[in-house]
Structure 1
């Protein structure tokens, strides 16, 4: 059997059906739109994600016989209230702590250098003066580069004020109309697809619940982990508790990797503040308990079997989609990997079922 014959058999098996070709074109068009027009359509995608988050609350109210428009209005007002709280209370607090941390960086650096000097005096055979000077020089260069990047970012952000205003105006408007006219928008989208869409419907049914549960569950997980982290750090007297809590909360976006990366700033801030003491051990143990409870209790309870992927698949998806789309690629790495898994399982199964139906029809006709 030649390579051409094998390729022809493969194409006939998976792309001989019109619906399979339509599915392939839809996937290509969707990925192309995100890759090439993602920056331009970012407000739309942001509003779509937020509407996905809020749709569960709207559906819960309508199931309790609340009129649809009233349910949308109540949920939308709650969203605006949360947005204003975030903008007026949480963001200024985090910004002030970030400014304080940057201002305190030279003192932390001096403290770290003193600690290295003491370490070198205690263990002169393990750490030589040349090694210590090399470490200090490398740290100085990193801090200098960090300051230059922060200055560049602050100057560049001045030109993004208009974009921020556009987000603050457009995104809430889009969210409201996506919630209000959801069924109309869904019907319009379906009207663009062919009437015969058994395979598309099967894949959408498999993905709809999973993606919705994942987005809402991940949002709730971030809020719970961030709130618990802030409470624990504040009780232990860790400085910059709000800033560290935000980092720990966002770390749950990247399974396994995020927990390891967030441990460094937590350990660094606590180490410079408490030194090598029992308080530092308490902070590290508390951080480990938070991550353990999140991974072994919170995630299984909230997500259950909604996302059944191997850890290797999750890490590869995070690296791949994060490299393509940055933060949003990391956020949607698991849903996209789940989508690919659903495609792998549904597409061949759909083709086999079609072949079985055709064979059964031929037998009945014969």
Structure 2
């Protein structure tokens, strides 16, 4: 066993460039793991800088100085965000309030339906089973209510954090875009000299992360808008809120789509009951998810779809458990990074030992 591990180590880490690559990645992982909360504004700024780098580059190619290009793109982006906040947030907040007000009616309707099951299916459902189920469900609902109250109190504290983000993040984005080359040169001076593999993997991942962030934002908008239009045409309640939820559900591959199915189905069931409209809603939602997974995602993430779905789900669970939201958001790029690093590490056999003549 020890000999096998020794041979594997010599095969993979005989090159000092490979050792430098693993050391740099390990240092970055540990930094984010232990100090992720402290550098969260920087992480947000890096994501936004990746997102806005493309329009900045287009303006610089037209002959505009980079500083003016950065300022123009940031002003346009800030204006769009303000329009979205003041146009969308009040509607979402209003629909959230209406949904919370309708929860008791939803619960009563569910209770009446479940209570009728022993009469409809006496061979399968017993009255004591219904009573146990409703008691458990009532406790869960009360627990959710307490969580909402605690979350509302905690949100007052988070307002201070939000204010800090609104000040720090735009400044960080501006300087990351404006002084990009200088910062990369300074970072390069801090890295080990034996970084041939690091430069190779870094160049590949830089392009992939840039494409991933732009693609993910595009996917959120397309899926959210299509879902809202579909729900609005079907006259589903809380269409804006559910459209936003479906749009943001694409942040978590596979798991997000499955999780958002529950509120969509519950609202449709409460509004229409077991009716043709309810089944048409599920069919429409299924078509949206199928088109997203089989058409939109392959177009936007041509490199990422080379990963097996099981690998993506494992990446979401592992990196999400390690780094929370950021681990979930970057699960696909991180899985691609692991794959790229593994392929970049040398896999040559060590020179065979001289055989002893008998």
| TM-score range relative to shorter protein | over 0.9
**Alignment gaps of 5+ in structure 1:** 357-366
Q: d(CA) in 2 for partners of 1:196 and 1:325?
A: 29
Moved more, 23-32 or 83-92: 83-92
Give the TM-score taking structure 1 as reference length: 0.91
Cα shift at 1:306: 4.6
* 2:55 alignment counterpart: 57
Q: d(CA) in 1 for partners of 2:148 and 2:232?
A: 27
| RMSD of aligned residue pairs (Cα, Å) | 1.9
Deviation sequence 1:218-242 (CA, Å, 0-9, x none) = 1110110001111111111111111
Q: d(CA) in 2 for partners of 1:126 and 1:44?
A: 56
The 8 Å contact of residues 297 and 305 in structure 2, kept in 1 or not, is answered as no
1:149 equivalent among 147, 150, 164: 147
* 1:254 alignment counterpart: 252
Q: How does 1:52-201 map to 2 (within 5 A)?
A: 52-201=50-199
Cα shift at 1:103: 1.5
Q: d(CA) in 1 for partners of 2:122 and 2:49?
A: 61
Cα shift at 1:54: 0.9
Q: d(CA) in 2 for partners of 1:132 and 1:9?
A: 61
* 2:212 alignment counterpart: 214
Cα shift at 1:12: 3.7
Deviation sequence 1:298-348 (CA, Å, 0-9, x none) = 111222235420111111111111111222211111100000000000112
Cα shift at 1:263: 0.9
Q: Number of residues paired by the alignment?
A: 351
Moved more, 310-319 or 202-211: 202-211
* 1:296 alignment counterpart: 294
Cα shift at 1:64: 3.0
Give the TM-score taking structure 2 as reference length: 0.93
1:42 equivalent among 40, 47, 52: 40
Q: d(CA) in 2 for partners of 1:344 and 1:150?
A: 44
The 8 Å contact of residues 72 and 180 in structure 1, kept in 2 or not, is answered as yes
Q: d(CA) in 2 for partners of 1:45 and 1:291?
A: 29
Q: d(CA) in 1 for partners of 2:180 and 2:342?
A: 29
Deviation sequence 1:92-143 (CA, Å, 0-9, x none) = 2222211221121001101111222333332233222111112211111111
Q: d(CA) in 1 for partners of 2:121 and 2:2?
A: 69
Q: How does 1:281-320 map to 2 (within 5 A)?
A: 281-320=279-318
SS in 2 for 1:238: coil
* 2:326 alignment counterpart: 328
Q: d(CA) in 2 for partners of 1:251 and 1:162?
A: 27
Q: d(CA) in 2 for partners of 1:199 and 1:176?
A: 30
SS in 2 for 1:348: coil
Taking CA–CA contacts closer than 8 Å with sequence separation of 6 or more, which of the two structures ends up with the larger relative contact order? Answer: 2
Cα shift at 1:57: 1.5
